[in-house]
Amino acid sequence: MNFWTDPIAAVAQGLMQTFTGWGMAPEVAGIVTNLLGVVLMITAIMVLDIFLVWVERKVVARFQDRLGPNRVGPWGIFQPFPDIIKLILKEDITPTGADKVPFNLAPILSLGSVIFLWAVVPVASRIYGVDLNVALLYLVASGAIGTLSIIMAGWSSNNKYALVGAYRMVANMVSYEIPLAASLLIPTLLAGSMSLNAIVEMQAKGVWLFLVTPLGALLFLVAAIAELGRSPFDLNEGESEIVAGFHIEYSGMKFGLFYAGELLHAFTFGGFLAALFFGGWHGPWAEEYPLLGAFYFVAKAMLGYWVIMWIKYTVPRIRIDHMLAFNWKFLTPLAFTLLVVTVLAHRLLMSLPLGLYVAGMFLVNLLVAWATLEVLRSSARRQREALGTR
């Protein structure tokens, strides 16, 4: 078996031979090999997470016309290490009256809910954790664990700002789960499977899904940003109202876990955006050489992450009632309309040649977008007139 065409299987086979050569039973050797794979995957993600801190700080600096970290290492690339040393050396404070077990469990669950997700992400054609047939539902389920961690953190801190921050964040996350799930249904129905591997494979054989359903990709991006709690949806924080929100009482590395979880979550959603709508690992020679596919995937995920950062550092925070109205009165109806229209159009056009099919689907999306804008315009006119006559 060649390392360049199937790296994971080659390494796993080599390890199995080594372990059984030491006299280990094959079942035990299999478990140890799989365990090593899991540890390796998590370590790779966490090391990437360390450098995401640098990426985030450098990009926000550029958006705000500053230089950003530039002292430790070339371009300040080793800045996260002093940061981590500082976080570890800080005093670990547990507030009086805090509920100790949920207080300490919340940061772990928060980071864990993101790391869970990497079990189903196909990094390349033959590099993935599991090919789960309910991967997209699994994404929603891990979001539920994230929501739970936030409410645990907010409640156990014994601080009213933390509790209000957690309420706002959870209200936001629970409501935006609906357009998120509806926008996840679109690639599911087009690919005929909830497995991410199947969705990416279908795009590698046909056409990237953002051409078929551009509006669906946009909806997923908006709902994902809301799920992340990043600006303009960062209701969990607010210096003028509730200070740092649900993680106000966390210090040192416990805060670090929340922070690392948030950055990794943003990058992970960039990865999901890439896998669902931008072909995942698909690119020239990616099928034969999985490591090249992994490079394409990380590049596309970084691009998605960059777009999320771009929005975060450009758009200000929106008030909570506007936020919820935007979700329930605009995004949710739009997501369900788009789902129904996409499925009908797909059914009607699926027998056409690929070029015509893609053009037709794109046109249908444009029509839905135009109709949405018309409805918004007329409703805004009605509201303006109602104000004028009063």
Partner 1 sequence: MTAEQIIFYLTAALILVSALMVVTTRNLIHAALWLVSTLFGVAVLYATLDASFLAVVQVVVYIGAIAIMFIFAVMLTRRDLLDKVPQTNTSWPWAAAASALMAGGLLFAGSQLNAFGAARPALSGDALQGLSLALVSADGFVLPFEVASILLLAAMVGAVYLAYKK
One DSSP character per residue, 177-233 reads: HHHHHHHHHHHHHHHT-S-HHHHHHHHHHS--HHHH-HHHHHHHHHHHHHHHT-TTS
AA identity, residue 59: V
| Comparison of 152 and 264: residue with beta carbon closer to partner 1 | 152
Burial zone of 321 (CB within 10 Å; 0-12 exposed, 13-18 middle, 19+ buried)? exposed
For residues 163, 164, 169, 170, the Cα torsion angle rounded to the nearest 10 degrees is 60
Consecutive H or E run containing 299: helix 290-312
Query: Rule CB under 8 A: is residue 24 a binding residue for partner 1?
Result: no
Q: C-beta of 144: minimal distance to partner 1 in Å?
A: 3
Least distance in angstroms from the C-beta of 136 to partner 1: 9
Annotate 8-26 with DSSP letters as a single string. HHHHHHHHHHHHHHTT--H
Per CB under 8 A, the list member of 79, 110, 125, 147 interacting with partner 1 is 147
The smaller minimum CB distance to partner 1, of residues 55 and 135, is found at 135
Report the candidate in 110, 115, 104, 107 with the shortest Cα–Cα distance to residue 43: 115
115 binds partner 1 (CB under 8 A): no
Least separation, in Å, of the C-beta of 288 and partner 1?
29
Residue 241 sits in the site that holds partner 1 (CB under 8 A)? no
Region of 65-73, 162-170, 286-294, 335-343 interacting with partner 1 (CB under 8 A)? 162-170
| Residue choice 132, 315, 341, 349 for contact with partner 1 (CB under 8 A) | 132
Q: Does the footprint of partner 1 cover residue 213 (CB under 8 A)?
A: no
Are 120 and 129 in contact by the 8 Å Cβ rule? The answer is: yes
Question: Does 98 sit near partner 1 (CB under 8 A)?
Answer: no
Region of 14-22, 148-156, 238-246, 333-341 interacting with partner 1 (CB under 8 A) = 148-156
* Shortest distance, position 207 Cβ to partner 1, whole Å: 25
Among 42, 88, 108, 174, binds partner 1 (CB under 8 A): 174
User: Do 175 and 324 contact (CB within 8 A), yes or no?
Assistant: yes
CB of 137 or CB of 211, closer to partner 1 = 137
- Alpha-carbon distance of 215 to 197, in angstroms, equals 22
Q: How many residues bind partner 1 (CB under 8 A)?
A: 24
Residue 177 contacts partner 1 per CB under 8 A: yes
The answer to the question of residue 191 lying near partner 1 (CB under 8 A) is no
CA angle 288/294/297 to nearest 5° reads 115
Give the nearer residue to partner 1 in terms of CB position, either 195 or 365.
Answer: 195
Residue 137 sits in the site that holds partner 1 (CB under 8 A): yes
31-70: contacts with partner 1 (CB under 8 A): 31
CB of 234 to partner 1, least distance (A): 20
Question: What sign does the dihedral 336-175-323-146 (CA atoms) show?
Answer: negative
Task: Give the integer Cα–Cα distance in Å for 278 and 5.
Answer: 23
Distance CA 101, CA 150 (A): 14
DSSP class of residue 124 equals: B
Q: How far is the CB of 174 from partner 1 (least distance, A)?
A: 7
Q: Is 141 in the site for partner 1 (CB under 8 A)?
A: yes
- Interface residues with partner 1 (CB under 8 A) are 31, 99, 102, 132-134, 137-138, 140-141, 143-145, 147-148, 151-152, 155, 163, 167, 170, 174, 177, 194
